[in-house]
């Protein structure tokens, strides 16, 4: 049964954040809000957590997991960024974008795209997500909470608790959450490629 954490959307309670982070550090899988929509999150290096996310979403090995980072400095530890890409990414964060980039050795191999050796990274513009990341001190391994066979992500904490109570360890609810997933942009090639249109304005990459 998943624990339910009701947090303030602008000033999340430190004690509750510590409880959520403790759960993650002990191998827990949580649903948490971002500036785009809810995401599933586990600790970096948690192999079982990755498998659980794959099972819930029925993902194949080519799915790009995302490292949700606190800021640009943290993001830069996990991906290789050229000068041109540096300026582009810096201008878009924090925000509702996920960028696909070549991974550094800091990223566990199980997270990488099997052929491209790339990974997704993002910095959310959301007070609760930022507070969780600050308390954790490292990125959350994440994936958008869209269930198999459904086109829209889940947007209500109570519904997530009700539907996924048996497969999650925690649900962090801060009230209304975005309804659109991030815009996903592949920056690993010569030209930017928009892979998914979402909450972030894709026009600057087209």
The token pair at 85 is 């890409």
Give the Cα-Cα-Cα angle 116, 84, 67 (nearest 5 degrees).
45
Q: Residue 86 contacts by C-beta under 8 Å, 6 or more apart in sequence?
A: none
Contact (CB, 8 A) for 31 and 144:
no
Angle between helix 14-25 and helix 127-136 axes, rounded to 10 deg: 60
End-to-end Cα distance, the chain: 44
Domain count of the fold of the chain: 1
Average pLDDT over residues 7-12: 96
- Per-residue CA distances from 92 to 24, 26, 95, 125, 157 (Å): 28, 33, 6, 10, 27
The token pair at 134 is 């600050």
Which pLDDT score, from 0 to 100, does residue 179 have? 85
Average pLDDT over residues 146-156: 90
Which pLDDT score, from 0 to 100, does residue 177 have? 81
* Gyration radius (Cα) of the chain, Å: 16
Which pLDDT score, from 0 to 100, does residue 178 have? 79
The token pair at 101 is 């980039």
Which pLDDT score, from 0 to 100, does residue 20 have? 98
Which pLDDT score, from 0 to 100, does residue 10 have? 95
Q: Can you tell me the distance from the alpha carbon of 54 to that of 62, in angstroms, rounded to the nearest whole number?
A: 11
Which pLDDT score, from 0 to 100, does residue 106 have? 94
| DSSP, res 115 | T
Contact (CB, 8 A) for 96 and 125:
yes
79-103 pLDDT tens trace: 999 998 999 999 999 999 999 999 9
Which pLDDT score, from 0 to 100, does residue 63 have? 86
Average pLDDT over the chain, rounded to an integer: 95
Average pLDDT over residues 43-53: 96
pLDDT band at 55 (very low <50, low <70, confident <90, very high): very high
Average pLDDT over residues 37-54: 96
The CATH code of the domain that includes 65 is: 3.90.870.10
Residue 58 φ/ψ region, left for φ over 0, alpha for ψ in the -120 to 50 degree band, beta for the rest: left
pLDDT band at 62 (very low <50, low <70, confident <90, very high): confident
Domain extent at residue 188: 3-205
Omega of the bond leading into 94 within 30 degrees of 0 (cis): yes
């Amino acid at each position: 049964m998943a624990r339910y954490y009701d947090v303030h959307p602008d000033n999340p309670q430190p004690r509750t954040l510590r409880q959520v982070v403790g759960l993650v550090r002990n191998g827990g899988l949580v649903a948490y809000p971002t500036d785009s929509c809810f995401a599933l999150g586990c600790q970096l290096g948690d192999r079982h957590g990755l498998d659980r996310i794959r099972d819930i979403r029925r993902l194949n090995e080519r799915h790009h997991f995302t490292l949700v980072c606190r800021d640009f400095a943290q993001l830069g530890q996990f991906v290789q960024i050229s000068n041109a890409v540096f300026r582009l990414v810096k201008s878009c964060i924090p925000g509702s974008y996920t960028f696909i980039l070549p991974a550094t050795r800091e990223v566990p191999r199980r997270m990488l795209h099997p052929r491209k050796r790339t990974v997704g990274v993002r910095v959310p513009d959301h007070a609760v997500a930022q507070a969780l990341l600050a308390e954790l001190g490292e990125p959350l391994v994440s994936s958008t909470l869209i269930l198999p066979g459904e086109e829209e992500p889940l947007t209500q904490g109570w519904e997530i608790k009700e539907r996924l109570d048996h497969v999650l360890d925690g649900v962090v609810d801060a009230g209304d959450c975005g309804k659109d997933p991030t815009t996903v942009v592949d920056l690993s090639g010569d030209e930017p490629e928009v892979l998914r249109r979402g909450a972030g304005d894709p026009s600057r990459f087209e």
